[in-house]
């Protein structure tokens, strides 16, 4: 029977031996279904038999795949999201560890859930990403995307950094803190939650700004429209005191007078879930809301 996913790309978690068994089973399963399989370089390293397989880099996978299956966890899916969102490739996550917010298919249920998904029975949602640019002396020196968050933070000193924060050209506050988290709704259950930020429903078109250990206790989290452009000016004179980190994976060092501009990326991530997906059920289990004291 025809289905929308004729070519499927496989992506694996780097350096995780536990990935091998799941990837081999998944590849064999897809082969038996007559589906063309593309192996990301991260996945190819774990397969016991690569004869007849097509191994491609992430750019080529994005250009050819109808669906990408990510084997690992939320961190692996974050990396895949940044490289696949612009090509509009839907992503399905197989989680090898604890229950994930993003990767929610377990290896034990993988075969049955693939049956349903390939038959067209699945839930799809779009998740917004951020695009962060760093300007130095008026020139762009770094750009990166983030599905969870862009974090401006201290990294090699035991004192606060100073930041001027503006939204849509309007000055908001001068912040003395360990840093500032700018998070999507997806990232609101990650670092932003640990920093005291609110949990945002993934369907909201919003961004949350969460100060990290602010000196002034009245500097509280702020939720704004994701149409807003957020600008953060790094103050001070210590050239090695701050950096920006996107999704906890991409880092760039900041110096005094650097301007960080953060806005919503024009392309969303297409995230595929089993048809019985329930975001609140995952939150309840992940955050242990149902446990009795």
**CA distances from residue 136 to 133, 253, 257, 258 in whole angstroms, order as listed:** 10, 11, 7, 5
**pTM assigned to the model:** 0.94
pLDDT at 240: 59
Tell whether the model's pLDDT for residue 188 goes beyond 80.
yes
Query: Please, are residues 262 and 131 in contact by the beta-carbon 8 Å criterion?
Result: yes
Distance of CA 143 to the CA centre of its chain: 16
- pLDDT tens-digit readout, 54-100: 999 999 999 999 999 999 989 999 999 999 999 999 999 999 877 67
CATH architecture of structural domain 130-264: Sandwich (2.60)
- The answer to whether the CB of 146 falls within 8 A of the CB of 246 is yes
Nearest to 161 by CA among 78, 221, 235, 92: 235
pLDDT at 293: 63
What are the structure tokens assigned to 236, written together? Answer: 């001070």
Burial of 143-156, coded b for 16+ CB within 10 Å and e otherwise, reads ebbbbbbbbbbbee
The pLDDT tens digits for 198-234 are 999 999 999 999 999 999 989 999 999 999 999 999 9
Query: Is 50 exceeded by the pLDDT of residue 1?
Result: no
Quote the pLDDT of residue 48.
72
Domain ranges of the chain: 7-128+268-286, 130-264
Q: State the architecture of 7-128+268-286 in CATH terms.
A: 3-Layer(aba) Sandwich (3.40)
pLDDT at 233: 97
Report the C-alpha gap between 211 and 222 in whole angstroms. Answer: 9
Report the pLDDT value the prediction gives residue 38, as an integer from 0 to 100: 95
The residues assigned a catalytic role are 74
CA distance 147 to 226: 13
Residue 105 is given by DSSP the state B
């Amino acid at each position: 029977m025809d289905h929308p996913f004729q070519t499927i790309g496989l992506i694996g978690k780097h350096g995780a031996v536990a990935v091998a068994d799941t990837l081999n089973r998944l590849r064999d399963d897809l082969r038996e279904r007559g589906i063309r399989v593309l192996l990301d370089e991260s996945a190819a390293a774990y397969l016991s038999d690569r004869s007849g397989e097509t191994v491609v880099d992430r750019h080529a996978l994005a250009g050819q795949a109808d669906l990408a299956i990510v084997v690992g966890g939320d961190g692996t899916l974050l990396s895949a999201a940044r490289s696949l969102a612009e090509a509009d490739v839907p992503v399905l996550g197989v989680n090898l560890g604890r229950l994930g917010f993003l990767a929610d298919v377990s290896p034990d249920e993988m075969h049955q859930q693939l049956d349903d998904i390939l038959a067209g029975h699945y839930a799809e949602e779009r998740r917004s990403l951020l695009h962060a640019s760093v300007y130095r002396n008026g020139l762009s020196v770094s750009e990166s995307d983030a599905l969870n968050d862009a974090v401006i933070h201290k990294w090699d000193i035991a004192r606060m950094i100073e930041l001027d924060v503006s939204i849509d050209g309007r000055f908001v506050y001068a912040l003395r803190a360990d840093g500032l988290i700018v998070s999507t709704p997806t990232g609101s259950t990650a670092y932003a939650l640990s920093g005291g930020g609110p949990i945002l429903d993934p369907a909201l078109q919003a961004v949350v700004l969460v100060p990290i250990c602010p000196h002034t206790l009245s500097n509280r989290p702020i939720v704004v429209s994701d149409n807003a452009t957020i600008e953060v000016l790094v103050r001070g004179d210590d050239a090695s005191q701050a950096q920006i980190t996107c999704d906890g994976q991409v880092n760039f060092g900041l110096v005094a007078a650097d301007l960080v501009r953060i806005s919503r990326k024009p392309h969303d991530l297409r995230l595929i879930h089993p048809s019985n997906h329930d975001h609140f059920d995952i939150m309840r289990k992940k955050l242990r809301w149902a446990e009795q004291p």
